Amino acid sequence: MKTPLDLVQAAKARITEVSLDAAEQALRDADVLIDVREADEFAAGHIPGALHFSRGMLEFKLAADPSLQRRDLQIVLYCKTSGRAALAAASLLDMGYVHVKSIAGGFDAWAAAGKPVNKPATPAFD
C-alpha cells in the first residue's frame, strides 16, 4: 500500500519543481500563479498575485474557467511545503497542461526567505 509520501515522491519525479532562487523568475514568466492550500491558509497570507484554488477543487476550477483552459498556459503552483503542489502539478500534467511548475519548499520556504507576502490587514482600534 502506498503512503501519501510515496504519492508525493512519485509526483515529484514527474513534475518540474523550481528552486526558491528560480521561483521569482518563474512567477514573472507565469500566466497564472495558483495557491492550492486551504482557504484559511490562503487568508492568513499568500504570495502576491496568487489565485486560490484548493487542492480538492483545482481541476474543477480550471475546467470551469475558459481563460484557464489553454493547455499551453505557464502555471506555477504552491502549497505549504510542496507536497500538495506536487500532486496538483502531476494532476495538471495528466489533464494535458504542458507548462506546470511547483515551488520547492512551498509558501513556508518563500515566507522564511523574506519574499513578499500578502497578509490580511489588521484592523485599527483607535
Model confidence over 52-99: pLDDT tens digits?
999 999 999 999 999 999 999 999 999 999 999 999 999 999 999 999
- 39 and 126 Cβ atoms separated by less than 8 Å: no
Q: Which of 8, 36, 50, 79 is catalytic?
A: 79
The correct answer on CATH 3.40.250.10 for the domain covering 4-112 is: yes
Strand-pairing partners, residue 102, are 17, 77
Mean pLDDT, rounded, of the chain? 95
Residue 79 annotated in active site: yes
Lowest mean pLDDT among 5-14, 92-101, 115-124: 115-124
**Nearest by Cα to 13 from 5, 22, 25:** 5
Q: What is the pTM of this model?
A: 0.93
pLDDT band at 120 (very low <50, low <70, confident <90, very high): confident
The three three-digit cell numbers of residue 65, written as one number: 474557467
Cβ neighbours, 10 Å, residue 95: 14
